[in-house]
Chain A
């Protein structure tokens, strides 16, 4: 079982990111479960969403307390949301930031990427979720970029889908190059 927790703020597509991750994993034949932090989503408010990926049937519905990976869509929530709580040893942390973020994490693989900047450039809107999923695919290898692209195309259509796919690909290549 691989467990991912996504932190951000309402309006940044945090819940949609978890849903797209689950779709990507499903497309690879895995069992996947995505759920939000239940109804507290308001524009600007801290939001958490969860995704579990497994080869076996997923039954538990408790919130993810010990994530294998954490995606931070908005670094201002790191402290108030205690975003790094419970991370497993050698877990992945992907932070939306154009500059490196200081963390007190000792055994984590931390990666920063300016996802909002890439989103603005490629999509024209500051929604970093698809970008971060592209980067996540390169960083963790848990899902393929092709599956991420298919998941984006499931949730969105037309120009929006096209631009988000491009943005995810840019982030994927950039992260691969820096790995």
Chain B
């Protein structure tokens, strides 16, 4: 059924449709409305048989989810930014212990300086933590990805992080089609854990692994990540056939058939990018520009990306994160996927800490990118002034 909802509420309802039995809640902007929304659904009785736990920190949120998941119970939590950093030690444990927790990350910049607005620095900090990471382009996809996420997680016994842009999606009202409970029940059967901690059948998990075995354990985890590509694709296809949508999967392409330049991005900026590309193609009367929406960042679908981009002359990666002293993060991964092909790759670092991204700004760099590493909307005057101060301080 169609609703006009805040993104956070749409996700809260989607979570409830997945019938988690434990939800760990700790507030942090801009994710807070999601766990508040789930709490309200538990209180009102719409989400039954669910323990809603107000924990004392993010570290506790993920730790409790690890505990309940290890006891064989479908578990959910959500966080943002510093909250994810605070839980990081246990984030690695969740994947290492093969626990299919689903967590929403309401993407937000990482301080210092303190900034509550959107970028992808938080997600990037977890890129090697062994979680699957899916990015939502709009609120429909945010809701749909959560329903897919539980199934993907439980099929692979791997935790899934669903990333949705803080404020831009979490606080935006838009139309969302939420499925009926019976439809979701058909798609997502009750959780049957492969193992669980049970006093009647004692077992241990998380035992110390010696140097003699550690490499093998890590290699197996690496291999499962690679295999996750086909599972994500299959479950996405199944979901879209059932719910008549085109959401999730590994990636989506837009107007790339004859495109010389393809723009690659993740998350909510893709809507603005598509409108920009449409306007550019319309103005020039051809279809030189196309878009690749990357949904699955972990696993990184090298082969599918390479197949989609192989005919492009230029690839522009627009990303909301920055590896200090290095440049793009997503762009380097795209570069690796396209290794050996004669394709120019340009990195556009954009929207850090909630910096506005407009169609006009994007159109300018898409038409005539100046350099291979561009900082969209960077105020050069401020940089010159500040850098001069730095040099003066050094007495140079």
Chain A residues at the B interface, C-beta cutoff of 8 Å = 18-19, 22-23, 26-27, 31-36, 38-39, 58-63, 65
Contacts and interface: CB of A to CB of B under 8 A. Distances in A.
A133 to B, nearest CB: 14
A6 to B, nearest CB: 13
B217 interface: no
B173 A19 contact: yes
17 contacts: A22-B174, A26-B4, A31-B174, A34-B173, A35-B168, A35-B171, A38-B117, A39-B167, A58-B271, A60-B272, A60-B359, A61-B269, A61-B271, A62-B272, A62-B356, A62-B358, A63-B358
A35 B356 CA distance: 13
Interface of B: 2, 4, 6, 29-30, 116-118, 138, 167-168, 171-175, 268-272, 274-275, 354, 356-359
- Which label, helix, strand, loop or mixed, suits the secondary structure of the A interface? mixed
B230 to A, nearest CB: 29
B168 A61 contact: yes
A41 B290 CA distance: 37
B172 A33 contact: yes
Given A61-B172, A65-B358, 4 more contacts: A18-B173, A22-B4, A39-B167, A62-B356
Which A-B residue pairs are the 5 nearest by beta carbons? A59-B271, A26-B4, A34-B173, A35-B172, A38-B167
Most A CB within 10 A of own CB, among B2, B4, B358:
B4
Given A39-B30, A60-B272, A31 B357 contact: no
Contacts of B356: 62-63
Nearest to A151: B4
B173 A23 contact: yes
Contacts of B359: 60, 62
B49 to A, nearest CB: 28
Q: Tell which of A18, A27, A31, A59 has the most Cβ of chain B within 10 Å.
A: A59
Nearest to A31: B175
A3 B271 CA distance: 16
Contacts of A38: 117-118, 167-168, 171, 354
A19 to B, nearest CB: 5
Given A32-B174, A35-B171, A35-B172, A23 B4 contact: yes
B63 to A, nearest CB: 28
B145 to A, nearest CB: 18
A148 B384 CA distance: 50
Contacts of B116: 39
Contacts of B354: 38-39
Contact of B4 (A32, A58, A61, A62): A32
B171 A60 contact: no
Contacts of A18: 173
B373 to A, nearest CB: 23
B172 A39 contact: no
A39 B354 CA distance: 10
A61 B272 contact: yes
B272 A32 contact: no
A39 B173 contact: no
Contacts of A60: 271-272, 275, 359
